[in-house]
Amino acid sequence: MSALVLKPGEGRAVGVVGDVYTVKTSGKETGGAYSVMEALVPPLGGPPPHRHAREAEAFYVLEGEMEFIADGQRSVGSAGTWVSLPKGSLHRFRNIGDTPARMLILIVPAGLEEFFLEVGLDAGMIAADEPATIDPRQIEKMLATAPKYGLEIVPLEH
């Protein structure tokens, strides 16, 4: 392994459920120890409830106002908020503000970033300043691919 320096806007970016995730460092660069992604979440954007069987996950809000729901506990955080989730926690996050939100996501151990890269769309197709729109074909692909990565995606209750 060698040092890795990425400048703003660099890294592999993909669109997943209307959000843009940029891999800043993957397990390939860290020997599998961890990965870090930057998330750009449009207003009302965010993933469906899910849990990871293999990884702990943490979020650091850089911009915007995010709602986090983890194991039934709701919290709201703006810039500077840190959220740590243990492996197996049922969780989701959502941008509840009027502008795009940005977060860093730490994943330990690495590997989940590969799920995003596998199911993601070309990030150029995503307009982060507009409410998220979700392509049903991507949801189908996510549901089919999730078990390979130890993910359980739970449908939202209406």
User: What is the per-residue pLDDT across 97-131, written as a single tens digit (0 to 9) for each?
Assistant: 999 999 999 999 999 999 999 999 877 655 555 55
> From residue 89, how far is each of 73, 79, 132, 147 by CA, in Å?
11, 23, 24, 16
pLDDT at residue 134 tops 60: yes
Cβ pair 18, 132 in contact under 8 A: yes
What was the pLDDT predicted at 139? 83
Which has the minimum average pLDDT: 36-45, 61-70, 129-138?
Answer: 129-138
Q: Which residues pair with 98 in a beta bridge?
A: none
What was the pLDDT predicted at 25? 96
- Taking residues 8-25, report their average pLDDT: 92
What was the pLDDT predicted at 2? 77
- Return mean pLDDT, the chain: 90
pLDDT at residue 86 tops 80: yes
Q: What is the pTM (predicted TM-score) of this model? A: 0.90
What was the pLDDT predicted at 137? 83
